Amino acid sequence: MTTTTTAPYLDPTAPEDARVDDLLARLTLAEKVSLMAGAAAFSLTAIPRLSVPSLRMTDGPTGVRSNTGEAATVFPVGVAIAATWNPALAREVAAAIAREAKALGEHVVLAPTINIVRTPIWGRNFETYSEDPLLAAELAIGYVDGLQGEGVGASLKHYAVNNQEHKRLVVSAEVDERTLREVYTSAFERVVKASNPWTVMASYNKVGGTYASENPLLLTQMLKDEWGYDGVVVSDWGAVHSTAPAANAGLDLEMPGPAKWFGDKLLAAVQSGEVSETQIDAAARRLVRLMVRVGLLDGAPRPGGELRSQSHRAIARRAAEEAIVLLKNDGDLLPLSKTATRSVAVIGPNAAASRLQGGGSSRVNPGRRATPLGSLRDLLGESAEVLFAEGVDSEPVPPMAQGRMFSPTKARDAAGLQAEHFVSADFSGEPFKTGVERHLAKWVSTMTDAPRQPLGSIRWTGWFWPAKDGPHELSVRGDGDVTVLLEGEALITPDTPSTDDRYDLGGSNALRRTAAVELVAGRGYPIQIDYVWAPARDESHFETFSLGVRQPSGTMDEAVALARAADVAVVVVGSASNTEAEGYDREDIELPGAQNALVEAVLAANPRTVVVVNAGSPMNLPWADKVPAILVSWLTGEEGPDALAAVLFGDAAPSGRLPVTFPRRNEDNPSFPHYPGGDSADYGEGLFVGYRHFDRAGARPLYPFGHGLTYTAFAYEGLAAPATARAGERVEATVTLRNTGARPGKETVQLYVAPRAPSVERPAKELKAFSKVELAAEETRTVTLTLDAGAFSYCQVGQGWVAEPGDYDLLVGASATDIRLKATVRLG
């Protein structure tokens, strides 16, 4: 018998600290430095000498955005998770995402996004949680615990003050320190202390003139020293701008790899004394700890991987159901009756579309593309006629082409076009890469297998198969020169007039050239696209190329006729395919295209009209007073359309609450006078973000923070709270909640703390506790709301969190403007 001794760092049964100490002691300085930068786009450096494999990271938060393009379960986006007001459900979702990450061999999921929704037009509002730091933090605690409970690392992002896409790579957020701490970093602080995410991602932007990735106040003073963080600070992808300043400020990991600012430059900075070895040791210790935590050094494949399973679909479905918000329900129009409904007119540009998630790095490749129309048909079967009319086209520009519209050969036995990539700028010579490509949208600088290969031109050839008869628009977007030949005729050339637009990939404007053409459905049209690379005009961004196709849309008249003849009309409006995405902000809070006119016309034809808002951000709903029933279905992932059908017909009850205020006009949001700014963004509204602003201004939004109805009603009675409390102690309040209706339902009880006479300016009230409970019909229950020691505090710069003695009202209610009960606590 032979015995082998396993080195402690490779021994899964050894304590974490012992493993970390052991591996750290074996690393050379150069190896430590090598760990501090990625090896490739989403992987870290391996150390074969010590059997240390490469750690892999992948995007979230909506699911696993597989780096190899594999389909994964698409869960509801961030704002929809927040609308559940259910941290336990966020935890279940994240645990499922972690199991999918493990099935795909990933160790860290780059999620959750917890930045504050400061302006309703931020392009990434869908991806994040809320305008309120407490709500955002509680959901994120659930999410981080869910991921890490399965042994997969979280990345709390984007730290910090990353609240707009406009100039996101360079803008400096100018925010006073009290607002920084109370509004923009307090969710980070809470999550770091409660759940210890194994990584935190430093954002692209500057804060107070210094890039977040080299900001000692954020990375070292606050995060590591004050909050005691022991994990890894990773840069957002391409967010590093320096070597010694970044390393000395506390950045532990530069991404993506290979190193641009760390690597050899960092080693040289250590050798020249600009960065101390102690600093490198500290960073390497954190990185090694991460490896131990994610099981990278455990040898055997990690147990518990599971991809696109029925149980994950069931979790996605429950999360979608709990996210849907019922804004109004006059005359109890909802739920619709399955037995009495004979015909449903399903109308709108999003009714037959799979608008499941937002655009950008969080986009998961869906394995299932449900639509509201399809899900309603599935639910109702033969019992009702479910008819569809698009009504209007909401796309501001031709939406991105789908691979299935094309085939490489006339036989149409595959989807996509045949591609040839050339080094030359004129398609001459042998192509260095060929193959069928389904995605006709490219980050041109990074798309090749050999990223360093100079790229000159690409030619795509094959057949285009229109699905509808009538006028089409084809467009190409990018700063390179593009020629599109359809049936051998030049449809678009570099001389075609261009417009400058923000939509699609990139994050900076690019030129779009569009041409109209009449086409016949079912016929194959030979197509050739010749693309000649040019540098993006804006040097901070990659050149991107995309092909757009606008198909013929239905008409308003068809929609009106359909609505008039049906028992009920369900109008699904919302974001267009590319109006909510990372990389750019929205222009305003209006529904794109003529969707408002469509709602008005359908309503005039059928008073039994339900409007569903399929978007990830606040929208102006100018017809809200007239329409009897409105649901916000958000972007609820691949099970979202089924969940919507279930809610419409009462198989599920809506229980979502708005995690963001819906203002009436973009001008009413407090950041409006300051947005977008130039190279600096003035956070001049200070603490008064979201409902904190509406309270101060005495203004009524369209729908307030926290609002949401269900199919039953609740009475709030008997708020009990101690009359006095000592600062620094927890305070418990109880309230008796009664379901007064005949159906079971879920209610989210909210507790806001309102200081009576603060010595400094403070928001009139702030959410400090909430509880979502389910009650059977006519059930009564005592709900306990716990205020932690910080619930009464504000941030006194230089002093930290201070709970001033005095009287505080505890306001308990069903939304920020629907306060039902009040008690007063004297804090001594």
C-alpha to C-alpha distance for 737 and 334, rounded to whole angstroms: 23
411: Cβ contacts below 8 Å, ≥ 6 apart: none
Judge whether 234 and 262 are in contact, CB under 8 Å.
Answer: no
With binding defined as CB under 6 A, does residue 585 bind ligand BGC? no
Shortest Å, Cβ 238 to ligand BGC: 7
Toward ligand BGC, which CB reaches closer, 237 or 634? 237
Judge whether 398 and 514 are in contact, CB under 8 Å.
Answer: yes
Q: Choose, by CB under 6 A, the member of 210, 361, 498, 817 that binds ligand BGC.
A: 361
C-alpha to C-alpha distance for 439 and 402, rounded to whole angstroms: 7
- Sketch the per residue contact string, 13 through 52, with ligand BGC: x for CB under 6 A, - otherwise: ----------------------------------------
Toward ligand BGC, which CB reaches closer, 158 or 820? 158
Task: Tell me how many residues contact ligand BGC (CB under 6 A).
Answer: 7
Tell me if the bond preceding 48 is cis, omega within 30° of 0: no
Toward ligand BGC, which CB reaches closer, 110 or 156? 110
Shortest Å, Cβ 127 to ligand BGC: 8
Shortest Å, Cβ 560 to ligand BGC: 42
Distance in Å from the first CA to the final CA of the chain:
71
Shortest Å, Cβ 446 to ligand BGC: 11
Structure tokens, 150: 């399965």
Shortest Å, Cβ 237 to ligand BGC: 4
Toward ligand BGC, which CB reaches closer, 207 or 598? 207
Shortest Å, Cβ 204 to ligand BGC: 7
| C-beta neighbour count of 608 within 10 angstroms | 18
> Which residue among 236, 252, 393, 504 is the active-site one?
236
Shortest Å, Cβ 766 to ligand BGC: 28
320 to 333, 395, 447, 770: CA distances (angstroms) = 21, 25, 34, 20
580 to 163, 242, 343: CA distances (angstroms) = 14, 32, 32
Toward ligand BGC, which CB reaches closer, 363 or 820? 363
25 to 14, 265, 268, 338, 477: CA distances (angstroms) = 16, 23, 21, 68, 52
Judge whether 357 and 364 are in contact, CB under 8 Å.
Answer: yes
With binding defined as CB under 6 A, does residue 237 bind ligand BGC? yes
CA angle 258-259-262, nearest 5°? Answer: 165
Shortest Å, Cβ 157 to ligand BGC: 6
HSE, side-chain direction, 13 A CA sphere, residue 270: 20
Structure tokens, 260: 């641009």
Closest CA to 753 of 778, 780, 721, 713: 721
Q: Choose, by CB under 6 A, the member of 74, 110, 270, 598 that binds ligand BGC.
A: 110
**DSSP tag of 703:** B
Shortest Å, Cβ 540 to ligand BGC: 12
Greatest CA span in the chain, whole angstroms?
Answer: 87
HSE, side-chain direction, 13 A CA sphere, residue 265: 15
Toward ligand BGC, which CB reaches closer, 198 or 770? 198
C-alpha to C-alpha distance for 613 and 125, rounded to whole angstroms: 15
Category of 211 on φ-ψ map: left (φ > 0), alpha (ψ -120 to 50) or beta: beta
Structure tokens, 566: 């049906």
Helix (H, G, I), strand (E, B) or coil at 485: strand
Judge whether 812 and 785 are in contact, CB under 8 Å.
Answer: yes
Judge whether 134 and 766 are in contact, CB under 8 Å.
Answer: yes
Q: Choose, by CB under 6 A, the member of 19, 44, 59, 480 that binds ligand BGC.
A: 59
With binding defined as CB under 6 A, does residue 236 bind ligand BGC? yes
430 to 171, 456, 457, 613: CA distances (angstroms) = 43, 12, 12, 50
DSSP assignments along 530-569, one per residue: EEE----SSTTS--EEEEEEEPP---HHHHHHHHHHSSEE
C-alpha to C-alpha distance for 82 and 657, rounded to whole angstroms: 8
Toward ligand BGC, which CB reaches closer, 242 or 361? 361
| C-beta neighbour count of 242 within 10 angstroms | 16
**DSSP tag of 21:** H
Strand partners, 755: 808
Strand partners, 699: none
Structure tokens, 309: 């399973």
Shortest Å, Cβ 56 to ligand BGC: 13
Count, in order, helices (H) and strands (E) of the chain. Answer: 17, 39
Toward ligand BGC, which CB reaches closer, 128 or 661? 128
Shortest Å, Cβ 324 to ligand BGC: 26
Toward ligand BGC, which CB reaches closer, 539 or 625? 539
**DSSP tag of 289:** H
Q: Residue holding tokens 């960092």?
A: 266
Toward ligand BGC, which CB reaches closer, 251 or 821? 251
Shortest Å, Cβ 479 to ligand BGC: 20
Give the torsion sign (CA, 667, 588, 174, 794). positive
260: Cβ contacts below 8 Å, ≥ 6 apart: 37, 240, 254
Toward ligand BGC, which CB reaches closer, 211 or 463? 211
Category of 690 on φ-ψ map: left (φ > 0), alpha (ψ -120 to 50) or beta: left
Judge whether 297 and 19 are in contact, CB under 8 Å.
Answer: yes
Let me know if 236 is a catalytic residue: yes
Helix (H, G, I), strand (E, B) or coil at 624: coil
Shortest Å, Cβ 438 to ligand BGC: 21
Structure tokens, 416: 């996509």
- Sketch the per residue contact string, 139 through 178, with ligand BGC: x for CB under 6 A, - otherwise: ------------------xx--------------------
Query: Where along the sequence are the contacts to ligand BGC (CB under 6 A)?
Result: 59, 110, 157-158, 236-237, 361
Catalytic positions: 236
